[in-house]
Chains A and B, each alone.
Chain A
Amino acid sequence: MSLIEYLSRNRVEFLTLTLEHLVLVGMSTGIAILIGVPLGILLTRRPRLGPPVLGLANIFQTTPSLALFGLLIPMPFIGGIGARTAIVALVLYALLPIIRNTYAGIQGVDPAVREAGRGMGMTDRQLLFMVEMPLSFGVILAGIRVAAVIGVGVATIAAAIGAGGLGVFIFRGVAMVDNTLILAGALPAASIALAADFALGRLERRFAPAPARLAEVRAV
């Protein structure tokens, strides 16, 4: 049976799984942004927290994903079988690139610009929202893009703990030694990853300073 044939015959299941996949990635990336961006900002204000926080995020990132899903299952409140546990794991995965890029982006703002802002009587909050955030938005968005693309891939494994998503096809295909089925999960997942990468990349270019202005950021 060809791939197209399979997908069209099982289109309801295919669409359901795709939707589940998108929800897993969208929810987890969204939550990771809500946690990661403020945390990255905090690190620029309390540099001493940098190494422990980034180190912890690094540990999550380097834990094999299947193991991370498995380890979370027995956890109270956040654990168990299903989408909630998968989203927690995906958030942990997405945190590192978002925290790191927020931190690096703001740290990368020209010190002279920051000094001028402070010297003109901007409060820390005004400096952050009028100067630092706009100037580092492109870098932060790049971190979100990396997080989302990683998330699409890792979310296929969420099927292993009953969270659904396109991984269901892949695991079924592996169990049945059926390459068509594996591809039925893998190709749409790869397409979602590419689409997310493309869309967020365009957004990033729109918000990044124009080349001339970028040079200005580096060497006012």
Chain B
Amino acid sequence: MSQNQPVAVEFQNVSLRLTDDHPIVADLSFDVRDSEILVLLGRSGSGKTTTLKLINRLLVPSNGRVMVEGVPTVDWDATRLRRRIGYVIQEVGLFPHFTVAKNIGVVPTLERWAEDRKRERVRELLDLVGLEPGLFEDRYPSELSGGQRQRVGVARALAADPPLLLLDEPFGALDPLTRVELQRELKQLQARLSKTMVFVTHDVREGLHLASRIGLFQKGALAFLGSPKEFLHSDHPEARAFVAGLEEAGETP
């Protein structure tokens, strides 16, 4: 990744506190560059999901600004902003009363696309995430496996072709094999579509595999930000702890 790529998202001294005492994230300043996969890595409760929600304005900073496409999130119309950002969460959150096709077509429906265009887009997306359209478009979420649901979740996030994708531990609930498969496919997808992605995980192996850059969170602050290679050689104690975890698992990076 070159340094002079345009910036998709920029955090400027962002803090969020819900009560007066303890900030959930404190004084975050970093940017997400165009077409990169920025992995936010950290333990549970380190503030990475909060950081993600600050981008699509599910949360609003107490201090500082989050800029998306050069405009502070608080100045965006919340629904407009969110329809420009794909959002994938661990629980997937497919609408159980909608078929797969209708689930994928939600944002196009909200954006009032014509039926033909929508149908075509749904088929294209199902192909893209490796699900046979004729076989899957009329199924309900309850008729899918965990991996298939998450594929639909990714397809749904891509529906209106948003430039930015936020992924919150999307593969966290999947079995290891499916998980690796989906990681590989996501990486290929990113190479083809060159979307900007912010990917939250606590799995260092997943992070290293996917990341253009890794941002390491510790207690609500950004402890480290750099390439996977830099991460492996960082002497930050939290980074060392994560790398040590890898080595214990018998993987010498």
Task: Say yes or no: is A202 at the interface (Cβ < 8 Å to chain B).
Answer: no
Specify which of B80, B87, B95 lies most central, judged by the most chain A CB atoms within 10 Å of its CB.
B95
| Chain A residue nearest to B94 in the complex (CB) | A220
Binary flags per residue of B163-185, CB closer than 8 Å to A gives 1, else 0: 00010000000000000000000
Binds A, one of B39-47, B138-146, B203-211: B138-146
Binary flags per residue of B67-105, CB closer than 8 Å to A gives 1, else 0: 000000000001111110001010111111100000000
Binds B, one of A1-9, A80-88, A120-128, A186-194: A120-128
Task: Say yes or no: is B200 at the interface (Cβ < 8 Å to chain A).
Answer: no
Shortest Cβ distance from B195 into chain A, in angstroms? 16
Task: Say yes or no: is B114 at the interface (Cβ < 8 Å to chain A).
Answer: no
Task: Say yes or no: is B18 at the interface (Cβ < 8 Å to chain A).
Answer: no
Q: Are A119 and B58 interface neighbours, CB within 8 A?
A: yes
Q: Are B106 and A220 interface neighbours, CB within 8 A?
A: no
A209-B58 contact given A120-B107, A120-B110, A121-B107, CB 8 Å threshold = no
Tell me the complex Cα distance, A209–B156, Å. 22
Shortest Cβ distance from A220 into chain B, in angstroms? 6
Q: Is the interface of A mostly helix, strand, loop or mixed?
A: helix
Question: Which residues of chain A are near B149, meaning CB under 8 Å?
Answer: 220
Task: Say yes or no: is B56 at the interface (Cβ < 8 Å to chain A).
Answer: yes
B93 partner, pick from A112, A123, A126, A209, beta carbons under 8 A: A112
A135-B96 contact given A116-B87, A120-B87, CB 8 Å threshold = yes
Q: Are B83 and A121 interface neighbours, CB within 8 A?
A: yes
Q: Are A216 and B107 interface neighbours, CB within 8 A?
A: no
Tell me the complex Cα distance, A117–B78, Å. 13
Tell me the complex Cα distance, A122–B111, Å. 10
Q: Are A220 and B110 interface neighbours, CB within 8 A?
A: no
Binary flags per residue of B14-32, CB closer than 8 Å to A gives 1, else 0: 0000000000000000000
B82 partner, pick from A119, A130, A209, A220, beta carbons under 8 A: A119
Interface residues of B in 111-148 (CB under 8 A from A): 140-143
Q: Are B141 and A216 interface neighbours, CB within 8 A?
A: yes
Question: Which residues of chain B are near A135, meaning CB under 8 Å?
Answer: 96-97
Question: Which residues of chain A are near B83, meaning CB under 8 Å?
Answer: 120-121
Tell me the complex Cα distance, A119–B93, Å. 10
Tell me the complex Cα distance, A122–B81, Å. 11
Tell me the complex Cα distance, A118–B166, Å. 14
B97 partner, pick from A120, A126, A213, beta carbons under 8 A: A213
Question: Which residues of chain B are near A121, meaning CB under 8 Å?
Answer: 78-83, 107, 110
Q: Are B110 and A112 interface neighbours, CB within 8 A?
A: no
Minimum-distance CB pairs A-B, first 4:
A116-B93, A121-B82, A112-B91, A121-B83
B residues adjacent to A (C-beta < 8 A): 56, 58, 78-83, 87, 89, 91-97, 106-107, 110, 140-143, 149, 156-157, 166
Of the A-B pairs whose beta carbons lie under 8 Å apart in the complex, a sample of 22, sorted by A's number, is A110-B93, A112-B92, A112-B93, A113-B93, A113-B95, A115-B89, A116-B89, A116-B93, A119-B166, A120-B82, A120-B110, A121-B107, A121-B110, A122-B79, A130-B106, A213-B142, A215-B142, A216-B141, A220-B91, A220-B93, A220-B96, A220-B149
